[in-house]
Amino acid sequence: MFTDNNLLAKLPGLAPERKPRLLLVDDQAINIQVMHRAFAQDCQVFMATSGPQALQICQDQAPDLVLLDIEMPEMDGFEVCRRLKASDLTRHIPVIFVTAHTDPAQETRGLELGAVDFISKPVNPSVLRARVRTHLMLKFQSDVLRDLVFLDGLTTLHNRRYFDQQLELEWARSVRQDTALSLILVDVDYFKRYNDHYGHQAGDDCLREIAALLKTSFKRGTDIVARYGGEEFVCLLPDTGHEDAMRLAEEIAKRVRERALPHAKSDVAAAVTVSLGVASGNGLQGAAKDLLALADQQLYLAKSSGRARACGAVLGKN
């Protein structure tokens, strides 16, 4: 069914070969079983039997599409849809209502809440698959267009605007799940001298080289690499403790040095080097801005200590 993943490959930071993520929400197990059989081979399928459970899965797993029953105890499908569309974290997830009701008023209400389609029960598996295919492709195309707003034109990394948004979202997830979050600030040493000596075109090429190296340094689809501004880059690492973050920072510093881009005006090496500031913490230790401030402090320490090195600290610890 979903054999063409080219659109997925165009999404920065997203593993190109992953299957679409589909959430099935219904309080009746038999209905979930029917839909699961239709998609188990081609999609990564999540299942929920209540509204609160569905909302939690959407926050934690970010499905690409939700198939949502209307009539459920505790919280009906309309309320689930309303809450999904009210959150910055989940508003872009398309919702298809799957219901035994054919009342035009209910369909109108669902569409007004932000649903993209209605499918009647009992479902026809072929029709269900065709509609899901259509809405997944529309979703991926929308993601590509939306992502263009968040790309840095020079390096094709994410830009500062995207990083600021994702930092808040990942910090909120860290609060909910009490998981580690690490951040690495990367600064190209003596970059103004590099520009003055080699010219701005060479400076742009240097930044592209560093950006490409950073891209290949992080393998997980959840890791985020962005251009922070000028010659600074930032790496956001969910579910990553301090030791692992420091190891990654030191590996980046090593790889940049080994790339051996000539830098005749550097005081630390004959090649381009980087200084790195690492901060780690979780949602119980302050706010997202505190993590960023700590990384900035550690970057300053790395630069004032001789550059071409990584310094790090854990939020809340001296």
Measure the CA angle with vertex 139, ends 151 and 10; round to 5°. Answer: 40
Q: What is the pLDDT of residue 169?
A: 87
- Percentage of the chain modeled with pLDDT above 90: 73
Q: For 212-233, how does the pLDDT look when each residue is reduced to its tens digit (9 = 90+)?
A: 999 999 878 889 999 999 999 9
Selection from 214, 279, 220 nearest residue 245 by Cα: 279
* Statement: residue 124 has pLDDT above 60: yes
Q: What is the pLDDT of residue 218?
A: 87
Selection from 257, 233, 237, 258 nearest residue 248 by Cα: 237
pLDDT-derived band at 102 (thresholds 50, 70, 90) equals: confident
Q: For 138-182, how does the pLDDT look when each residue is reduced to its tens digit (9 = 90+)?
A: 998 888 787 778 899 999 999 999 999 999 989 988 988 889 999
Q: For 251-280, how does the pLDDT look when each residue is reduced to its tens digit (9 = 90+)?
A: 999 999 999 999 999 999 999 999 999 999
Q: Bigger pLDDT: 6 or 44?
A: 44
Q: What is the pLDDT of residue 220?
A: 85
CATH superfamily of 160-314: Reverse transcriptase/Diguanylate cyclase domain (3.30.70.270)
- Pair 221, 210: CB distance under 8 Å: no
Q: What is the pLDDT of residue 172?
A: 87
* Domain-wise residue ranges, the chain: 6-148, 160-314
Q: What is the pLDDT of residue 54?
A: 96
The residues, ordered by sequence, that sit 6+ positions from 28 with a Cβ below 8 Å of its Cβ are 69
Which residues are known to be catalytic? Answer: 231
Mean pLDDT, to the nearest integer, of 17-28? 89
Q: What is the pLDDT of residue 184?
A: 98
Is the fold of 6-148 the same as that of 160-314? no
**Distance separating alpha carbons of residues 156 and 149, to the nearest angstrom:** 11
Q: For 62-95, how does the pLDDT look when each residue is reduced to its tens digit (9 = 90+)?
A: 899 999 999 999 899 999 999 999 988 899 999 9
Q: Share the mean pLDDT of the chain.
A: 90
Angle between helices 200-217 and 191-198 (to 10 degrees): 130
pLDDT-derived band at 318 (thresholds 50, 70, 90) equals: low
Q: What is the pLDDT of residue 2?
A: 47
* Statement: residue 211 has pLDDT above 90: yes
- Phi, psi dihedrals of residue 5, rounded to the nearest 5°: -105, 20
pLDDT-derived band at 282 (thresholds 50, 70, 90) equals: confident
Q: In the CATH scheme, what is the code of domain 6-148?
A: 3.40.50.2300
Q: What is the pLDDT of residue 142?
A: 86
pLDDT-derived band at 27 (thresholds 50, 70, 90) equals: very high
> Is residue 107 packed enough to be buried (19+ CB in 10 Å), middle (13-18) or exposed (0-12)?
middle
Q: What is the pLDDT of residue 17?
A: 56
**Distance separating alpha carbons of residues 192 and 45, to the nearest angstrom:** 50
Q: For 228-257, how does the pLDDT look when each residue is reduced to its tens digit (9 = 90+)?
A: 999 999 999 999 999 999 999 999 999 999
* Statement: residue 44 has pLDDT above 90: yes
